[in-house]
A and B are shown apart, each in its own frame.
Chain A
Amino acid sequence: MKMNQTWKRQDIDIRPGMRIKGKWHDKHYIVKRKLGEGAVGTVYLCESNGRPVALKISDQGASMTVEVNVLQSLKKVQGNLLGPSLLDVDDWVSASGAKYAFYVMEYLQGESITSFIKRHGDEWIGVLMLQLLDGLEQLHHSGWIFGDLKIDNLLVITNPPSIRWVDVGGTTRKGRAIKEYTEFYDRGYWGMGTRRAEPSYDLFSFVMVFLHVYYPRRFDKGTDPEKTLVQKINAVRVLTPYREPLKRAIRGKYQSSVEMKQDITDILRKQQRQIRTRTSRKAKKASHAPFLIESGGIVMMATLYYLFSLLL
């Protein structure tokens, strides 16, 4: 949502080294550097009592309050959700007297899905898919829809690699109208459904996340959007095993993330079995294909790791 708003909204003048002090709770934060900018506000890496935190600040008080409400509701949900935890909510009055609203979250250090896949290999796709579906399942189960699911709002943290989401600006209660979205990821834009918050809305964006990994420059709707999406899915070699579930999700055929997770799990199991037989066959002539064994081993480890983490 890049818009020309310079004439209207004043830029917040925040520089590294500056101290932001809360009006209500009296806590203070030292600004380190800018982490990113969204439709509503700007996120800074700050230090509080020697500990790194992420601070989001904006002059749009109302929208910030709405986001805080979401974070607070998610906090009450049982279980370990994939979102960052909320640490503080307050206002800041700048030296010039301007009022800003801010909130503070734990700082998650990680990388984008795209760079993670680039560094660690395509075999991680399946595992990341399952992790994300797991997170969505928990979120949906607690009555919320993520809404603005996209690469920018996801982070892979290492040791062990796990997916987390970083922005709840679009997170909407089930049954309402999606609060915030990004065109490329929005099924309404593609003419594939409404903007009502329901699990299938997130599952559409889910597919777009993985398409975006392999089409970094995105692509246009074309005259027949559904056909375009199917063609794009078919054209990515790495996504071949997942084609059917991805297409089902695009068409809104899944009522819940559990159903989609089941299909992807089945595919991964099948793949694993194939690799195992292939590996044992190849092992007899090991000298020919050490590379295959290695990559097969990685997938097995990754999948095993994931299945193991489910038990925890």
Chain B
Amino acid sequence: MKGTLKQILLLTDGCSNKGENPAQTAELAYEQGITVNVIGILDDEHTEDAEGLQEVEDIARAGGGVSQLVYKQTLVQTVQTVTKQAMTQTLQGFVNKELQQILGEKQTLEDLDPEKRGEIMEVVEDMGETCDLEVLVLVDTSASMYDKLLTVKEALIDLSISLNSRIGRNRFCIFSFPGKRKDIDRVFDWSPKLDSVSTVFPKLSSGGITPTGPAIREAMYQFGKKSLLRSFRDEDESNVEETGY
């Protein structure tokens, strides 16, 4: 069996203030098989309001993903760590579900002795290395993100280096929110690499509106889009040509 993991990676520095509750939308995405990870970027001088921080954790928990709060300086390494952690977590979740069917309820990986656990983790690792991955990056471009976007770009290029060192295939795309007329705007269409991101993020929106909930909902729909399917199919076709079928 060869599966595809789907992830939304939300990068934000604050609290949502418009539209539906983002944690609820994240839960909806999770039900559709899409994991939602959140990285909260902290300001150096400001002490954040507790509400904003709590939301970061809430969204990731509801979305079956991983959350992390970081300062700009450590963002680059965090983005790839969080993405990989979430992959392992999702795969482990699958394995645990299978285990429960075999061994009965409430049996998880931790209830097995270290030797058996080792064998199972080997399988999880194999899956993480070989599975295909689709990551939709959702970047908050409200005014306060201004001095962070350059680091965000650097972090995304780095993420692409990490994931493209795997055996499995990857697809990335980048959306920003709030959009000009819609909830989100496309910055970069589905593509196997991000190192070609020369794209500058769109002009920052003024006004302090952060519609995180609607943005996640809109992001969810991007996984069924034709451009994504096409980009995978193109690769398959070129593979076939190479092997001479």
Residues on A lying within 8 angstroms of B by beta carbon are 1-5, 7-8, 24, 61-62, 65-66, 68-69, 72, 89-91, 99, 101, 175-178, 183, 188-189, 194-197
Bound: A61/B96 CA distance, A: 14
Bound: A156/B68 CA distance, A: 36
Query: Inside 8 A of A4's CB, which chain B residues have their CB?
Result: 42, 69-71
Q: Known contacts A62-B121, A91-B114: does B162 contact A3 (CB below 8 Å)?
A: no
Q: B124 to A62, Cβ gap below 8 A?
A: yes
Query: Inside 8 A of B92's CB, which chain A residues have their CB?
Result: 62
Closest-CB distance, A60 to chain B (whole angstroms): 9
Q: A177 to B125, Cβ gap below 8 A?
A: no
Q: Known contacts A177-B129, A177-B162, A188-B161: does B121 contact A69 (CB below 8 Å)?
A: yes
Bound: A178/B125 CA distance, A: 12
Query: Inside 8 A of B77's CB, which chain A residues have their CB?
Result: 1, 183
Q: A176 to B81, Cβ gap below 8 A?
A: no
Query: Inside 8 A of B165's CB, which chain A residues have their CB?
Result: 176-178, 188, 194-197
Q: B164 to A68, Cβ gap below 8 A?
A: no
Q: A183 to B76, Cβ gap below 8 A?
A: yes
15 residue pairs of the A-B complex, CB under 8 angstroms, read A1-B74, A1-B77, A1-B81, A2-B74, A3-B68, A4-B70, A65-B114, A68-B114, A90-B114, A101-B114, A176-B166, A183-B76, A195-B161, A195-B165, A197-B165
Of all chain B residues, the one with the shortest Cβ separation from A99 is B110
Q: Is B103 an interface residue (CB 8 A)?
A: no
Q: Known contacts A3-B70, A4-B70, A194-B161: does B114 contact A24 (CB below 8 Å)?
A: yes
Query: Inside 8 A of A195's CB, which chain B residues have their CB?
Result: 161-162, 165
Query: Inside 8 A of A1's CB, which chain B residues have their CB?
Result: 74, 77, 81
Please count how many residues in chain B sit with their CB below 8 Å of the partner chain's CB atoms.
35
Of all chain A residues, the one with the shortest Cβ separation from B78 is A3
Closest-CB distance, A109 to chain B (whole angstroms): 27
Query: Inside 8 A of A65's CB, which chain B residues have their CB?
Result: 114, 117-118, 121
Contact check: which of A24, A61, A188, A189 meets B113 at CB < 8 Å? A24
Residues on B lying within 8 angstroms of A by beta carbon are 42, 53, 57, 67-71, 74, 76-78, 81, 88, 92, 109-110, 113-115, 117-118, 121-122, 124-125, 129, 158, 161-167
Q: B122 to A62, Cβ gap below 8 A?
A: no
Query: Inside 8 A of A2's CB, which chain B residues have their CB?
Result: 74
Of all chain A residues, the one with the shortest Cβ separation from B108 is A61
Q: A188 to B166, Cβ gap below 8 A?
A: no
Of all chain B residues, the one with the shortest Cβ separation from A2 is B74
Bound: A65/B124 CA distance, A: 11
Bound: A7/B163 CA distance, A: 28
Closest-CB distance, A4 to chain B (whole angstroms): 6
Of all chain A residues, the one with the shortest Cβ separation from B82 is A3
Of all chain A residues, the one with the shortest Cβ separation from B122 is A69
Closest-CB distance, B210 to chain A (whole angstroms): 22
Known contacts A1-B77, A4-B69, A65-B118, then 17 further A-B pairs from the complex at CB < 8 Å, ordered by chain A residue: A7-B69, A62-B92, A66-B121, A69-B125, A91-B114, A177-B129, A177-B162, A177-B165, A177-B167, A183-B76, A183-B77, A188-B158, A188-B161, A188-B162, A188-B165, A189-B76, A189-B158
Query: Inside 8 A of B57's CB, which chain A residues have their CB?
Result: 7-8
Of all chain A residues, the one with the shortest Cβ separation from B113 is A24
Of all chain A residues, the one with the shortest Cβ separation from B164 is A194
Query: Inside 8 A of B167's CB, which chain A residues have their CB?
Result: 175-177
Query: Inside 8 A of B53's CB, which chain A residues have their CB?
Result: 7
Closest-CB distance, B231 to chain A (whole angstroms): 21
Query: Inside 8 A of B158's CB, which chain A residues have their CB?
Result: 188-189
Query: Inside 8 A of A24's CB, which chain B residues have their CB?
Result: 113-114
Bound: A197/B57 CA distance, A: 33
Bound: A183/B77 CA distance, A: 8
Closest-CB distance, A177 to chain B (whole angstroms): 4
Query: Inside 8 A of A90's CB, which chain B residues have their CB?
Result: 114
Q: A89 to B161, Cβ gap below 8 A?
A: no
Bound: A41/B81 CA distance, A: 16
Q: A177 to B166, Cβ gap below 8 A?
A: yes
Query: Inside 8 A of A68's CB, which chain B residues have their CB?
Result: 114, 118
Q: B163 to A177, Cβ gap below 8 A?
A: yes
Query: Inside 8 A of A177's CB, which chain B residues have their CB?
Result: 129, 162-163, 165-167
Query: Inside 8 A of B161's CB, which chain A residues have their CB?
Result: 188, 194-195
Bound: A197/B167 CA distance, A: 11
Bound: A188/B115 CA distance, A: 34
Query: Inside 8 A of A69's CB, which chain B residues have their CB?
Result: 118, 121-122, 125
Closest-CB distance, B154 to chain A (whole angstroms): 10
Q: B110 to A61, Cβ gap below 8 A?
A: yes
